[in-house]
Structure 1
Amino acid sequence: MVSSSSIPQKRDLELSPEEASLSTSPKQVKDEENGPKYEECQNYLGALEAIPRNLRLMYLHSYQSFVWNNMATKRLKLYHPTPVIGDLTSEQAAQYTFADVVLPLPGYDVEYPTHALRSSYTTFMAQHNVDPFSMHRKHNTASLPGSYRKIICKPRDVAWKLLRYTDPECDLAITDLDRLQGRKEVETVEGGARVAVVVEFTLGSE
């Protein structure tokens, strides 16, 4: 016996895969619903601009970070954590360390390394039909200037301590919010069966 619940409903058969997906999406992703309406008439710019600006920029910046992460991995494989000729640095100094080396997030207003990584940007982004040296668009919607990001960030104010504890699920550190709410710092438990190393440090904003 075939139950009525196993028979596809007419409405389900009429939906495209995109529409079916959107119909079951949680409300926090409803901003993407307008895209398919523009795609049907091949108005891709309209589909992109139908998404709220903050969300749209998040997508574009995500692609920049995607490229940057892959180039950072490639840079370390090529030259290891050592500064070499052709690197870009955050400081124009006669001597610098690997902590000063930066890589660009692709855009129309950045420079690229002059060693082998330069062509790696081109090869990698070509997979997505994007040219790192032609990033300026006549529509600001998809035109990004780019920026720079350090490959590593050297921590400051480094401190550490040993902490004995017993409960494997207990918090070993508290947050700034915990402190504002008056929560006490975690203290070591005398005779605790477990030992943890708690490290504290400050990172820059890069």
Structure 2
Amino acid sequence: MLGVQLRSFGFAGTKDKRAVSTQRVTVFKQQASKLAALNKRLIGIKVGDFCHVKEGLLLGQLYGNRFTITLRGVSAESEDIIKASAVALGKHGFINYFGLQRFGSSSVPTHLIGAALLRGEWKAAVSLILDPREGEKNAISTVREYYKESGDIDGTLRQLPRYLVAEKAILQCLKRSPGNYLQALKAIPRTLRMMYVHSYQSYLWNHAASMRVQKHGFDQVVLGDLVYSKEEYKVKESFVAECEDVNDNNMDDYSNLDEISETDLPEERNIPVKVINEEDLKSGTYAIEDVLLPLPGSRVIYPSNDIGEVYRDLSQKDGISLTETAHKIKEFSITNMTGAYRRVFQKPKDFEWELLSYTDGTIPLAETDFDVIANSVKSKVREEDPTNGSKELPADSSAISVGGDMLSGKVRDEKINNEAGMQSEKSQSGGNAEESQMALKLSFTLPASCYATMAVRELLKTSTSVAFHKSLND
């Protein structure tokens, strides 16, 4: 629509396509009026609040995200149980696991591909990416089966959905250089191929975090734990970010990644840490929220207690060394990565919760930022007159411009009133009345690379497995 390349745009992080999200985006040398005009053509997106800035945004410059999540159909033996769970989440936080987004929702988790890359098994990695998988759409399964049985690259490419970027890149390279599996893997956009290795780091971290809680609980620091060194560094929340996920919802959807392949993932942070000793335990200087675990790399240290062995044992079972590389390809080597540290427990910031009741599941229980703008029409319909005070504007002029798109306050009010009326009618019409249900509305802020899904998991005590999450869509 603008006639510019995707690299002209800058953003600090990706957002979940299933969410209604708001974020800052920069674009190089464009006029606000031209951008505002797009609102008449864009579907499912609005732009506005334009201003000039000296520099564009870069991936990784994100402090964090503010979430508003409404959980419908909440049930418990009593409201007190729900309230107690919400209070506990705000007070104690949650285990800071990497979420399902980090590993993908297919039957072939991305960390398995990452493990093959770290072992230098190029052909195996290619097979994991291309081979048929359980649970995929029939159209995709058919294409994968066709290639596995026929080896027909041209025929497969003609049928391959455009969003399967990795598969497309591999096949195009194998067509030019048959049997060169390493080169085929390097043909995958850098952002995407590095995601495979990062997901293996995350896999090790998640397992170590589970063992840390299982062996030592979640209420005290123990000998050998890692913490930020308070003597050397004042902790900043921004340092909990390691690298942004390529996609914050489904790792099988790689659309447009070929356009941003030259944008590297942000550098992994390396900040001063220390190992807890007896003196630290006696002084009580450090609390459980200070405890860290490393993402493997060449510049990190590991806990000196039994959790350090968890990393080594699990990676050895996968045929991977954390200190030596199995090949000479640096980008597919843990020893070539800096590594990073991540809090084991994360408390949500500015945590708020509200217990609601509703009867109509189609009526929103939370306002989006766009709703807030639309509702502000009511405060704009009265114009200040310098001589006579305020005066009412004509009904047909009670509209404001939102990024070039007109929103009628009158229409908006009628919509709200109609929804309220429908709700009221249903509650008053005996046989047709729907049973009242409870909903829990949560609002909180998390640092970059922390997952709201893991906070909700802690609240609901639900599984993080792929199978469970897929069942929610059935």
TM interval, short-chain normalised: 0.7 to 0.9
Matches within 5 A, 1:15-164: 15-16=150-151, 24-35=159-170, 37=174, 41=179, 43-81=180-218, 82-92=220-230, 94=280, 95-134=285-324, 138-142=328-332, 143-164=336-357
Q: Would the alpha carbon gap of residues 175 and 109 (structure 1) be closer, same or farther in structure 2, given more than 3 Å must change? A: farther
Q: Secondary structure at the match of 1:200?
A: strand
Superposed displacement of residue 13, structure 1: 9.0
Give me the identity figure in percent. 33
CA distance in structure 2 between the aligned counterparts of 1:162 and 1:76, rounded to whole angstroms: 30
Unpaired segments ≥5 residues, structure 2: 1-145, 232-279, 377-411, 428-434, 450-474
Q: Secondary structure at the match of 1:171?
A: coil
Structure 1 moving runs of 4+ over 6 Å: 11-14, 17-23, 188-192
| 8 Å Cα contact 2:294/2:342 also seen in 1 | yes
| 8 Å Cα contact 2:147/2:156 also seen in 1 | no
Q: Would the alpha carbon gap of residues 112 and 44 (structure 1) be closer, same or farther in structure 2, given more than 3 Å must change? A: farther
| 8 Å Cα contact 1:22/1:30 also seen in 2 | no
Unpaired segments ≥5 residues, structure 1: 1-10
CA distance in structure 2 between the aligned counterparts of 1:154 and 1:172, rounded to whole angstroms: 25
- Larger RCO, structure (CA 8 Å, separation 6 or more): 2
CA distance in structure 1 between the aligned counterparts of 2:361 and 2:193, rounded to whole angstroms: 42
CA distance in structure 1 between the aligned counterparts of 2:177 and 2:300, rounded to whole angstroms: 32
Superposed displacement of residue 113, structure 1: 0.9
| 8 Å Cα contact 1:49/1:141 also seen in 2 | no
Query: Partner of 1:7 in structure 2?
Result: none
Q: Secondary structure at the match of 2:345?
A: coil
- Cα deviation 1:3-42 (Å, max 9, x = unaligned): xxxxxxxx9796249999777542211433454629964x
Segment of structure 1 superposing worse, 194-203 or 112-121:
194-203
Q: Secondary structure at the match of 1:45?
A: helix
CA distance in structure 2 between the aligned counterparts of 1:126 and 1:17, rounded to whole angstroms: 37
CA distance in structure 1 between the aligned counterparts of 2:152 and 2:315, rounded to whole angstroms: 28
- Cα deviation 1:80-124 (Å, max 9, x = unaligned): 113211111134365122111111111112111111111111111
RMSD, aligned CA: 3.7
Q: Secondary structure at the match of 2:323?
A: coil
Give the partner amino acid of 1:152.
Answer: F
| 8 Å Cα contact 1:164/1:196 also seen in 2 | yes
CA distance in structure 2 between the aligned counterparts of 1:74 and 1:21, rounded to whole angstroms: 44
Superposed displacement of residue 140, structure 1: 3.3
Q: Give the structure-2-normalised TM-score.
A: 0.35
Query: Partner of 2:87 in structure 1?
Result: none
Q: Secondary structure at the match of 1:197?
A: strand
CA distance in structure 2 between the aligned counterparts of 1:122 and 1:145, rounded to whole angstroms: 17
| 8 Å Cα contact 2:160/2:168 also seen in 1 | no
CA distance in structure 2 between the aligned counterparts of 1:48 and 1:120, rounded to whole angstroms: 30
1:204 has 2:442 as partner: no
Q: Would the alpha carbon gap of residues 149 and 200 (structure 1) be closer, same or farther in structure 2, given more than 3 Å must change? A: same
Q: Secondary structure at the match of 1:141?
A: helix
Query: Partner of 1:6 in structure 2?
Result: none
Query: Partner of 2:119 in structure 1?
Result: none
Q: Would the alpha carbon gap of residues 172 and 47 (structure 1) be closer, same or farther in structure 2, given more than 3 Å must change? A: same
Give the partner amino acid of 1:26.
Answer: P
Superposed displacement of residue 59, structure 1: 1.4
Give the partner amino acid of 1:63.
Answer: Y
Q: Give the structure-1-normalised TM-score.
A: 0.73
Q: How many positions carry a matched residue from both structures?
A: 193
